[in-house]
Structure 1
């Protein structure tokens, strides 16, 4: 059998890091592209030098690949050669000096605490309980559900797929934490604050409104009459757009993932440890979490420049 270092690398990611199938497929394609571009087979990757890897990234930039694609290629190559080095397949890492273009990398969109509060107020279910339904207002049960979704997303940092996929039994007995199965089937604990728990209680009272006809045994927390049996990610995005408009926020700045960004950034702004945030988000690599330190740092810089007396004095001098 032909020696295949790429296959061994992907097997390691699958077995030891429980990487998702989509990640394994993407990394496999990335490394296959290196082979094709540089004219080598998989074992030939072990004979490449720093100049070869640099040349490869030059060709990628010439292709006009998106910054996100360049970053993933860099991650695949760096991780592959680190694996080869740890297995004594190579004596030096030819990718260690390679810096894929980062200039196009954009920081995550986030919302301020005040904007999050405005979103929640815009979907304030309890305030609608005593109000009649009109052409301009959602039924109270829909507003209560949306408030619960926003509260839970912001309190936990869950991915939207994790949130809409929650089972009803996950919130039995009013838990302070949920056990969530994330990417690669890895389980983690995510927190629920008192506000989110109160929103869940209010939602559970009206949940029967969303049950498919004759399906009282529906196992999903956010049950729906759609074919999937639960609320879809797309529908949550549409509901958030409506809430954003009601809150006076540009809908382009709001999405389910933005609530996750806000969760992470606001934790770091409050002094949370980066490793803790990594665990709460379910990131396998801390470099993925580190992007939020840049966001938090930029926001803190803006606060200092806006409110610090010396900074204000310097601004006035100009």
Structure 2
């Protein structure tokens, strides 16, 4: 079956996952067709029937089905590169996955989380969380903000961002975000001049990992499951809040730095908990 040679060329983690997936396909193939699995014997019908078997007979989730089919495809492509087969069989469409809105905090969870942050009284943490929750910045964008990127007056504020794909955008800072960031800027001004809004070690900026740990700490203090609050969940919450308040998709996409509207449109999907409440 050439499995072992193929797996030896992969890193340990990928090889372990692929081994289980390929062995499952091998067992099914032998039981269904009465012959041992060999790459030149696999047809498009086999692939379609195996996919259907996983979905209909075994009730596997679409993500699991797609992962196993991807493992088979990787093995078959390797076999083609090694000259073991000439052409790949036609591949069935991916199993459709149920789409829900990205995870976001409820209003009550936002209040509990922000209360825990405010109680700590750490101006830096307050400003960091403000940029993600009230301005929608990605964790990497917030960590890399320079002092010179921020402009705040009494009634206006903005932060200049270079995001994914080196795309530049200017994000306006609302009332809450302005106050949170301005308090940290005033505190910094009393100390040595800094290049980065959120300095880290060795003269650089704070790391994304440090921000993630900081958020987990406040999640514990707010008695919210730590896995429920991540930097990206704060960004999702910002987008969800805007859409619930009636802001149009084009504006939300511009604020988030999305180049495709269908990426932003995911936030308009109902969450599973919302659907549960409706049905109840």
The interval holding the TM-score normalised by the smaller chain is 0.5 to 0.7
1:259 equivalenced with 2:234 (yes/no): yes
CA deviations 1:29-65 (Å, max 9, x no partner) are xxxxxxxxxxxxxxxxxxxxxxx9xx79x88x99x99
Matching residue of 1:181? 162
Looking at structure 2, the residues matched to 288 and 149 of structure 1 have their Cα atoms a distance apart, in angstroms, of: 24
Matching residue of 1:150? 129
Secondary structure at the counterpart of residue 158 of structure 1? coil
Q: CA deviation at 1:303?
A: 6.3
Are the counterparts in 2 of residues 207 and 223 from structure 1 also a CA contact under 8 Å? no
Q: CA deviation at 1:66?
A: 8.4
Are the counterparts in 2 of residues 264 and 292 from structure 1 also a CA contact under 8 Å? yes
Looking at structure 2, the residues matched to 249 and 261 of structure 1 have their Cα atoms a distance apart, in angstroms, of: 17
Are the counterparts in 1 of residues 150 and 157 from structure 2 also a CA contact under 8 Å? no
Are the counterparts in 1 of residues 100 and 271 from structure 2 also a CA contact under 8 Å? no
TM-score normalized by the length of structure 2: 0.62
Looking at structure 2, the residues matched to 122 and 205 of structure 1 have their Cα atoms a distance apart, in angstroms, of: 22
Secondary structure at the counterpart of residue 180 of structure 1? strand
Looking at structure 2, the residues matched to 282 and 292 of structure 1 have their Cα atoms a distance apart, in angstroms, of: 14
Matching residue of 1:222? 198
Looking at structure 1, the residues matched to 227 and 252 of structure 2 have their Cα atoms a distance apart, in angstroms, of: 26
1:277 equivalenced with 2:275 (yes/no): no
1:170 equivalenced with 2:149 (yes/no): yes
Instruction: Tell me the number of residue pairs that the alignment of Structure 1 and Structure 2 aligns.
Output: 209
Looking at structure 1, the residues matched to 236 and 198 of structure 2 have their Cα atoms a distance apart, in angstroms, of: 22
Moved segments of 4+, more than 6 Å: none
Are the counterparts in 2 of residues 109 and 258 from structure 1 also a CA contact under 8 Å? yes
Secondary structure at the counterpart of residue 153 of structure 1? helix
Looking at structure 2, the residues matched to 181 and 165 of structure 1 have their Cα atoms a distance apart, in angstroms, of: 9
Q: 1:99 to 1:275 in 2, by over 3 A?
A: farther
Q: CA deviation at 1:298?
A: 6.7
Q: CA deviation at 1:204?
A: 1.7
CA deviations 1:214-271 (Å, max 9, x no partner) are xx443101112x1361111111111111111111211110110100111111211121
1:236 equivalenced with 2:211 (yes/no): yes
TM-score normalized by the length of structure 1: 0.55
CA deviations 1:95-131 (Å, max 9, x no partner) are 9xx8532326564221012211221111116xxxxxx
Q: CA deviation at 1:279?
A: 1.5
Q: Superposition RMSD on alpha carbons, in Å? A: 3.9
RCO higher in 1 or 2 (8 Å CA, sep ≥ 6)? 2
Please list every run of 5 or more consecutive structure 2 residues that lacks an aligned counterpart in the other structure.
1-43, 55-59, 68-90
Looking at structure 2, the residues matched to 204 and 173 of structure 1 have their Cα atoms a distance apart, in angstroms, of: 10
